[in-house]
């Protein structure tokens, strides 16, 4: 029946604003570097400003770590490893991880607001997904810390030492949890570098580590841009680099560590295919497609950014999809009714605009939501491209924004061939009522993760990671421990 509602009828049912209060965030005017258990000024005294992408207003001044600061952080991590953490039992380490998880839960409302202010993502997502999942990762790996002998990596698996961890801006606290929790459970010490546009939740995590009385130097959090990341990658005192970010930077990092002793895991870009067969349950599937690409403004490496739909149902699916896209509420990320928030930065917005312009130039048919966009801030209306062919740039390149490319197929063989026609290999979705068909397709997809009749589901017990240009190594689950053990 909702199918029959016109947009003007939906307008009449518009929701009243329901904003969360920004004051819960208690953001400080300036943050230093978190090294050896305390905040300190960077040696260069350089700083940069982190903005609220929904308003372009400054949120805080954040330290820019120099090579000398990276050195200080790695030294602190090494000393903590040698003198404390490598001598701390698994049961003791797990106590700290449980403590961190509980404090994240206690401060979850504050963290959700900070994440939404700094990143632009809807509060509903930071409140219901990012922050609870971050706590869940610490809880999950707390359970492993005293059971490493039974994890299937030999009788007495050893940590690697000091881990340098570089994370992106799309899920700031969650990515910090994905990196820190398994590393600490396995007995490593860490130097974490958050992304330059979203450093705030990691800095609040630093306060949480102080609250949890984690021994000094076990985790060091240094803010800065790509040059800080590069200095961490190049530091000879680091035993392991874990990176999540663009394929371009991942490639560079792989080259730089190639001749060193460093272990490496990379979680890079993607161009996920959401494959829809004609027998798929239509309403669930439309919601799954929407969630697959518009969740977190499409700033998701495993986003279902290519929709492969069976030709027999393509017109119907496209019609329903466009109607649903028009109903998405775009705007104030702090509003509890918002579905799609702000684009994280001016640079990312420019990239999305550039690639979507190519989509039109190359002949795809563009449908853009008729939603109105705020005047200030970085915004992009949810967009669907139909009549996309495999050679189009919008079918090949990661847009990392709220843009879906729709292609069609006739047979399961063709669906698999098209889904695999990419240099990436992070995630895919399959929608069908037939289990045998789903399994047949899933077996043939070259992707680290395959979801069936759902999309973008995350759980700390489930390993996540890519193949080919989407990287290597797994995060989450028992497999996630392997990245931090000498096995
Ligand atoms: P995006 O293009 O999505 O911003 P990046 O790969 O550029 O993703 O950034 C992901 C993380 O990598 C960020 O923390 C960023 O500061 C860091 N970074 C960028 N360039 C480098 C580099 N050359 N070496 C190490 N880290 C880097």
**Per-residue model confidence as pLDDT tens digits over 144-162:** 999 999 999 999 999 999 9
Please, where are the H alpha helices in 340-385? 346-361
**Percent of the chain beyond pLDDT 90?**
96
- 78 pLDDT band, cuts 50/70/90, is very high
Q: Is the CB of 187 under 6 A from ligand 1?
A: no
**According to the model, what pLDDT value does residue 44 have?**
87
**According to the model, what pLDDT value does residue 333 have?**
98
Q: Is the CB of 195 under 6 A from ligand 1?
A: yes
d(CA 219, CA 203): 12
Residues 6+ apart with CB under 8 A from 5: none
Tokens (6 digits) for 334: 């702090």
d(CA 131, CA 473): 24
Phi, psi of 455 (to 5 degrees): -155, 155
- 32 pLDDT band, cuts 50/70/90, is very high
Q: Is the CB of 226 under 6 A from ligand 1?
A: yes
Q: Tell me which residue has its CA closest to atom 27 in ligand 1.
A: 226
* Ligand 1 midpoint to CA 247 (Å): 10
Q: Is the CB of 222 under 6 A from ligand 1?
A: no
| Helix-, strand-, coil-residue percentages of the chain, each rounded to 5 | 45, 20, 40
**Which run of H or of E encompasses 7?**
helix 7-12
For 361, counting Cβ atoms within 10 Å of its Cβ (0-12 exposed, 13-18 middle, 19+ buried), the class is exposed
Q: Is the CB of 254 under 6 A from ligand 1?
A: no
Give pLDDT tens digits for 157-210.
999 999 999 999 999 999 999 999 999 999 999 999 999 999 999 999 999 999
* Ligand 1 midpoint to CA 192 (Å): 13
Residue with tokens 């027998």, as numbered in its chain: 279
- 462 pLDDT band, cuts 50/70/90, is very high
Strand partners, 427: 449
Mutational pocket test of ligand 1: of 229, 347, 401, the residue with most ligand atoms within 8 Å of the beta carbon: 229
* Ligand 1 midpoint to CA 173 (Å): 16
b/e for 9-36, b at 16 or more Cβ within 10 A? eeeeeeeeeeebeeeebebeeebbbbbb
- 15 pLDDT band, cuts 50/70/90, is confident
* Residue numbers annotated as active site: 267, 301
In this structure, of 20-24, 116-120, 157-161, the range with the lowest mean pLDDT score is 20-24
* Mean of per-residue pLDDT scores for the chain: 96
How crowded is residue 440: how many other Cβ atoms within 10 Å of its Cβ?
A: 15
- 125 pLDDT band, cuts 50/70/90, is very high
Torsion of Cα atoms, 276 then 279 then 280 then 286, to 10°: 70
DSSP 8-state code for residue 297: G
CA atoms within 13 A on the CB side of 431: 27
Q: Are 243 and 254 in contact (CB under 8 A)?
A: no
3-state secondary structure 446-469: CCCEEEECCCCCCCCCCCECCCHH
Mutational pocket test of ligand 1: of 244, 249, 266, the residue with most ligand atoms within 8 Å of the beta carbon: 249
Q: Are 219 and 184 in contact (CB under 8 A)?
A: yes
Tokens (6 digits) for 16: 């009243």
Phi, psi of 132 (to 5 degrees): -60, -35
Q: Is the CB of 107 under 6 A from ligand 1?
A: no
**According to the model, what pLDDT value does residue 2 have?**
45
**According to the model, what pLDDT value does residue 101 have?**
98
**According to the model, what pLDDT value does residue 1 have?**
41
Q: What is the mean pLDDT of residues 405-415?
A: 98
Tokens (6 digits) for 321: 């999809």
Strands 219-221 and 449-452: unpaired
Tokens (6 digits) for 39: 């905040």
């Amino acid at each position: 029946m909702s199918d029959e509602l016109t947009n003007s009828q939906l307008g009449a049912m518009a929701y009243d604003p329901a904003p969360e209060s920004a004051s819960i965030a208690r953001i400080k005017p300036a943050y230093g570097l978190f090294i050896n258990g305390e905040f300190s000024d960077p040696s260069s005294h350089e700083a940069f400003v982190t903005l609220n992408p929904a308003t372009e207003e400054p949120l805080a001044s954040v330290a820019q770590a120099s090579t000398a600061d990276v050195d200080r952080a790695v030294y602190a991590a090494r000393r903590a490893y040698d003198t404390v953490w490598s001598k701390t039992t698994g049961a003791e380490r797990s106590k700290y991880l449980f403590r961190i998880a509980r404090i994240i839960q206690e401060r979850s409302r504050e963290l959700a607001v900070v994440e939404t202010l700094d990143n632009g993502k809807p509060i509903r997502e930071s409140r219901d997904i990012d922050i609870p999942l971050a706590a869940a990762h610490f809880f999950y790996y707390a359970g492993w810390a005293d059971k490493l002998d039974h994890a299937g990596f030999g009788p007495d698996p050893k940590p690697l030492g000091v881990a340098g961890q570089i994370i992106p801006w799309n899920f700031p606290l969650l990515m910090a949890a994905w990196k820190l929790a398994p590393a600490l459970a396995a007995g490593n010490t860490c130097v974490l570098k958050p992304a330059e546009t979203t450093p705030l939740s990691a800095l609040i995590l630093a306060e949480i580590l102080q609250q949890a009385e984690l021994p000094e130097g076990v985790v060091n959090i240094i803010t800065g841009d790509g040059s800080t990341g590069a200095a961490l990658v190049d530091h000879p005192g680091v035993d392991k680099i874990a990176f999540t970010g663009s394929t371009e930077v991942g490639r560079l990092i792989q080259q730089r560590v190639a001749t060193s002793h460093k272990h490496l895991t990379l979680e890079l870009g993607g161009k996920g295919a959401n494959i829809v067969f004609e027998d798929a349950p239509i309403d669930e599937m439309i919601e799954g497609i929407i969630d697959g690409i518009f969740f977190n403004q499409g700033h998701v490496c495993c986003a279902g950014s290519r929709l492969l739909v069976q030709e027999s149902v393509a017109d119907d699916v496209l019609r329903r999809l466009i109607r649903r896209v028009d109903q998405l509420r775009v705007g104030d990320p702090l509003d509890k009714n918002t579905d799609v928030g702000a684009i994280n930065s001016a640079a990312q917005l420019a990239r999305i605009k550039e690639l979507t312009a190519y989509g039109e130039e190359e002949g795809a048919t563009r449908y853009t939501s008729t939603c109105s966009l705020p005047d200030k801030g970085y915004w992009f209306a949810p967009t669907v491209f139909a009549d996309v062919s495999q050679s189009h740039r919008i079918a090949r390149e990661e847009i990392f924004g709220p843009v879906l490319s729709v292609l069609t197929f006739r047979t399961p063989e063709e669906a698999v061939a098209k889904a695999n026609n990419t240099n990436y290999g992070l995630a895919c979705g399959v929608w069908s009522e037939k289990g045998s068909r789903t399994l047949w397709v899933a077996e043939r997809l070259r992707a680290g993760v395959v979801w069936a009749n759902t999309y973008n589901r995350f759980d700390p017990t489930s390993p996540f990671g890519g193949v080919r240009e989407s990287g290597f190594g797994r995060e989450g689950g028992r497999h996630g421990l392997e990245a931090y053990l000498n096995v």
